[in-house]
Amino acid sequence: MASNYDNTAWFYDPLSRMVFGRSLIKSQTSLLKYIPAKANILIVGGGTGWLLDEITKVHPDGLDVTYVEISAKMMALSKNRNLGNNNVTFINRAIEDVKFLRQFDVIFTPFLFDNFTAENLHRIFNHIHNLLKPDGIWLNTDFQVAGKWWHKLILQTMYTFFKVFGAVETSTMPEIQTLFKQKNYRILSQQTYYGSFVISQAMQKQPA
């Protein structure tokens, strides 16, 4: 069975807020201004779905949202969120197993890529990349090791903890930023949080 956060769904949000305060929340909500009205959005790995509540505050209607989450328990929590009058399609599968016949205006990947081995990351990243329209906006938040001694320590603690619960498949942070650079994404906005341990980016896909 693929790694997922089923066993952590009931305590994931309280734990993250106990450790990181509102840093993880701010890193994601700061990007919502890059979602245009009437956009067609793909959210991958949205967890408990609190992000849907925040999106509805900005766009109470007019959005077409596809919400992909591999954890059934996280998905159940997400379905109880405030969706406003937006059209939301929930898909409880791994993103690499989902085939779409269309591309999206906006893709949001909140703390997704740190879960994968380098080999799987390349495959999953390329799959998602191909789902974004040329000139489309990719919103991404994740952890990073940015030169501070405690970054590696807290990261390793997180990996050890979540592997116990079967949530992640890797024990090391993959080179996420390298993938965006290789695909020539243009950075529209970049901010860091929690002592630069969290990076939040809005990026634009360049036409081929």
pLDDT of residue 26 exceeding 90, the answer is yes
Distance of alpha carbon 111 from alpha carbon 175, whole angstroms: 13
Band the pLDDT of 10: cuts 50, 70, 90. Answer: low
The closest alpha carbon to 58, from 33, 87, 23, 83, belongs to 33
Query: Partners of 193 in the beta sheet?
Result: 198
Question: Measured between alpha carbons, how far is 52 from 170 in angstroms, rounded to an integer?
Answer: 27
pLDDT over 80 at 67, yes or no = yes
Whether pLDDT at 69 is above 50: yes
For β-strands 40-44 and 61-68, DSSP reports them as parallel
Q: Would you state the pLDDT for residue 23?
A: 93
Token pair in block for residue 189: 């906005």
CA 121, 179, 63, 74 torsion: positive or negative?
positive
Q: Looking at this protein, which amino acid is placed at residue 85?
A: N
Position 1 pLDDT exceeds 50: no
Mean pLDDT of 156-180: 78
32 — pLDDT class (breaks 50, 70, 90)? very high
Q: How far is the C-alpha of 111 from the C-alpha of 114, rounded, in Å?
A: 7
pTM of the predicted model as reported, rounded to 2 decimal places: 0.92
The per-residue pLDDT for 156 is 86
Q: What pLDDT, on the 0 to 100 scale, is given for residue 190? A: 97
Q: Where are the alpha helices (DSSP H) in the chain?
A: 12-20, 23-29, 50-58, 72-78, 118-129, 149-164, 176-182
Mean pLDDT of the chain: 90
The 10s digit of each residue's pLDDT in 112-130 is: 998 888 888 999 999 999 9
